[in-house]
Amino acid sequence: MRLIRYSIVVSCLWLMGCTNSQNAYERLVPVPTASQTRRNTTPALDLPALLVQNIDSLRRLIGPPRESQGEGSAAEPGARGSGTAAKVENWVNTFEKNRSTLIVTFNARTRKVVDIVLPGTDEEELMQQANLSLYDSRYIVLPVGDPKFLDRITGLRIIPRR
């Protein structure tokens, strides 16, 4: 009976000694995570530089907005002849740049950029992709929440500080 107890204790100790073991190579070479790999890439957009532009110079840098590619252009308020140009203060243009979508709101009268929304679900990846920092004094970064799932985001809203 004692022999059985002794063999059970020894085998349990042996199993405990085998757990959490690593080869010497595994301890020396850490595997980079996906977020560390993303940090090493260069940003696809320089959003802080785009925020200080007015809408006309932003269009020259990025290209024409998606709204101007249709038959009835909606890139400008009142462009369709509806007479709403005097009534509308803010207007939205959507741009494609380096496989990223930018939704730009601008003041139709002053032509200044009001905000830029960068759609996406991974906040860290969006910050890296757009060359943004939470601590930059030139702009404010706000998450755009998903109304269906409160723990998820649908993008980032970047507002220039005046």
Q: Between residues 41 and 53, which one has the greater pLDDT? A: 53
Provide the token pair at 46. Answer: 């320089």
Q: Between residues 123 and 43, which one has the greater pLDDT? A: 123
Sheet holding 113-119, edge to edge: 90-97, 100-107, 113-119, 153-160, 139-145
Ranges 15-24, 115-124, 133-142: which has the least confidence: 15-24
Q: Any residues with CB less than 8 A from the CB of 76 and at least 6 apart, and which? A: 85, 91, 108
| Alpha helices (H) in 44-154, listed in sequence order | 47-51, 55-62, 123-129
Q: Residue 34 has what pLDDT?
A: 52
Q: Residue 61 has what pLDDT?
A: 92
pLDDT level of residue 13 (50, 70, 90 thresholds): low
Mean pLDDT of the chain: 80
CA distance 162 to 58: 18
Contact between residue 143 and residue 156 where contact means Cβ atoms under 8 Å apart: yes
Contact between residue 81 and residue 99 where contact means Cβ atoms under 8 Å apart: no
State what percent of residues in the chain have pLDDT above 90.
52
pLDDT digits (tens, 9 = 90+) for 54-104: 999 999 999 999 886 665 456 676 655 555 555 778 999 999 988 899 999
CA distance 16 to 27: 19
pLDDT digits (tens, 9 = 90+) for 107-131: 999 999 999 999 999 999 999 999 9
| Alpha helices (H) in the chain, listed in sequence order | 2-18, 24-28, 34-39, 47-51, 55-62, 123-129
